[in-house]
Amino acid sequence: MVGKEALKSILVVDDEVGARESLKMILKGEYQVFLAKNAEEAFQQVDGHIPDVILLDIILPDMDGLRILKKLKQTLPEQIVIMITATKTVKTAVEAMKLGAYDYVTKPFDVDELRLIINRALSTKALKEENQRLWMEVDRNFGFENIVGKSKGMKDIFKVVKQVADTRSTVLIMGESGTGKELISRAIHYHSPRKNHPFVTINCAAIPETLIESELFGHEKGAFTNAIEKKLGRFEAAHEGTLFLDEIGELSLMTQAKILRFLEEKELNRVGGSKTIKVDVRLITATNKDLPQLVKTGQFREDLYYRINVVPIILPPLRERREDIPLLISHFTKKFSEENQKQLKGVSKEALELLLNYEWPGNVRELENLIERVIALTHNEYIQPDELPLPIINQSKANGLKESVLSGQISFSRAEEEFEKEIILDALRKANFIQSHAAEILGISRRILKYKMDKLGIQQQDRIKQYS
């Protein structure tokens, strides 16, 4: 049996005792039923507990149903109200529906019809709530606040994204892999008038050249071997929405020409088809390549370049906006701590220094993957240096040494010794401190390795923590 707390609630507002009790008997097995004999009691009930559905009689002694409906809708615009009416007041009930009532039932009640109307009303409400939840999820995942950054470069990008979102202009997003090009494209779409329509993506580098035309424009049945049925392409799938073409620089000149034709004429032909199809699509493209250079070498059409480059957005690599790294670490730490049900508070000062000095060739994606991996494995409150991969530790130390030399904090010869020591220690760790194996890794003899270890003061006790 369903627990009482799980039952939906219904408030019956009717001045006739018989009507109230009849409705209570009909509904009490499926719903929590509350009763009110007039407007005053109805408002008292609503103040104490907002019901899922209100069954409201049109004729009441202290206030007519239309006035009650208006007052309810002013404070509770999403409230489901079903009017109760006698046959002679059906016209008034229809007027009530114009004011926001969901439906009406007439006395005497048809029990099956009443249950059907209530079930339909609750289903409609549930669907609205689910849509609201989904849109909140979309806003959280693709809102501007999810594009983390306080650097001047990112602030300038936020400004452009907000300005271009409401337009129909094509956008070209340029940046290294992992800088967040798709995230920017989604933010543009979900803040545009097209947000209720499809957002379709395709990675041009991931589709073989023999299939890319069919993927983009679709094909008719029998257009080629294995075309056993008609298929809509990505352009048609994105009708009235946005199509995001990632890595557009990978497309052949022939496919580029067909995209250019679509942009000029807003129509396409499926592969193997003769019918011209009109499609309304906003195009956003992205690339990690130097398109102007590809234009110069004849690998990318100049006319297409100018058509897609109406609004250019250039995403800086993470190494050029290091002030955003602490913000990103905090953002990803919170995200993955919640997902893994951990109480991680952040990153230690020493680990943060290593992360700030790293060059991040994989950009934000590399940082996100690193934080996810560390959080999945850690049992600490703060991320520690020994939980970071060796490349980050080594590169950070090398960068730190470089800065120390250039700022005059240490001499060049001292930095050289420190760097050499770190390389030897790394080789020893990889070789499990077997010197002959370490020498082989370094490409030197065991005798030379031993000489350098003695010179640099590397002893057996230097078997320090082996970083993963």
More reliable by pLDDT, 308 or 425: 308
Sequence-distant (6+) residues with CB within 8 A of 323 are 150, 151
Residue 462: the pLDDT is: 46
Q: Which CATH code of 3.20.20.70, 3.40.50.2300, 3.40.50.300, 3.40.47.10 fits the domain covering 144-316? A: 3.40.50.300
Residue 85: the pLDDT is: 84
User: How would residue 2 be classed by pLDDT, with cut points 50, 70 and 90?
Assistant: very low
User: How would residue 464 be classed by pLDDT, with cut points 50, 70 and 90?
Assistant: very low
Residue 141: the pLDDT is: 55
Residue 393: the pLDDT is: 75
What is the reported pTM?
0.62
Amino acid at 59: I
pLDDT in tens, 360-408: 999 999 999 999 999 999 888 899 988 888 778 776 666 665 666 677 6
Residue 240: the pLDDT is: 93
Rounded to 10°, the helix 363-377/325-339 angle is 40
Sequence-distant (6+) residues with CB within 8 A of 158 are 144, 147, 149
Structure tokens that stand for 146 in this block:
């999810």
List phi, psi (to 5°) of 387.
-100, 0
Sequence-distant (6+) residues with CB within 8 A of 382 are 344, 345, 346, 347, 348, 351
Spell out the long-range contacts of 92-95 with Cβ–Cβ below 8 A and sequence spacing 24 or more: 92/58, 92/65, 92/66, 93/58, 95/66
pLDDT in tens, 190-224: 889 998 899 999 999 999 888 899 999 988 887 77
* % of the chain residues with pLDDT over 70: 89
CATH 1.10.8.60 positions along the chain are: 322-462
Q: What is the rounded distance in angstroms from the CA atom of residue 238 to the CA atom of residue 244?
A: 9
In the predicted model, is pLDDT for residue 135 greater than 60? Answer: no
pLDDT in tens, 184-196: 999 899 889 998 8
In the predicted model, is pLDDT for residue 4 greater than 70? Answer: no
Structure tokens that stand for 148 in this block:
């983390």
Sequence-distant (6+) residues with CB within 8 A of 345 are 381, 382
Query: Please, which residues bridge with residue 55 across strands?
Result: 12, 82
Residue 465: the pLDDT is: 37
| Rounded (5°) CA angle 378-423-464 | 45
Question: Do the Cβ atoms of 185 and 286 come closer than 8 Å?
Answer: yes
The mean predicted confidence, pLDDT, of the chain is: 86
CATH 3.40.50.2300 positions along the chain are: 6-135
Residue 139: the pLDDT is: 52
Residue 466: the pLDDT is: 37
Residue 429: the pLDDT is: 80
Q: Which CATH architecture has domain 322-462?
A: Orthogonal Bundle (1.10)
Residue 254: the pLDDT is: 94
Q: In CATH, what number does 6-135 get? A: 3.40.50.2300
CATH 3.40.50.300 positions along the chain are: 144-316
Using alpha carbons, select from 216, 217, 161 the residue that is nearest to residue 189.
161
More reliable by pLDDT, 107 or 171: 171
DSSP E strands in 137-257: the ranges are 171-174, 199-203, 242-246
Structure tokens that stand for 341 in this block:
């049900």
List phi, psi (to 5°) of 55.
-95, 110
Residue 346: the pLDDT is: 87
What one-character-per-residue DSSP string does 379-412 give? -SSEE-GGGS-HHHHHHHHHHHHHHHHHTTSS-H
Of the listed ranges 144-153, 169-178, 314-323, the least confidently predicted one is 144-153
DSSP E strands in 295-376: the ranges are 311-314, 346-347
Using alpha carbons, select from 193, 145, 111 the residue that is nearest to residue 334.
145
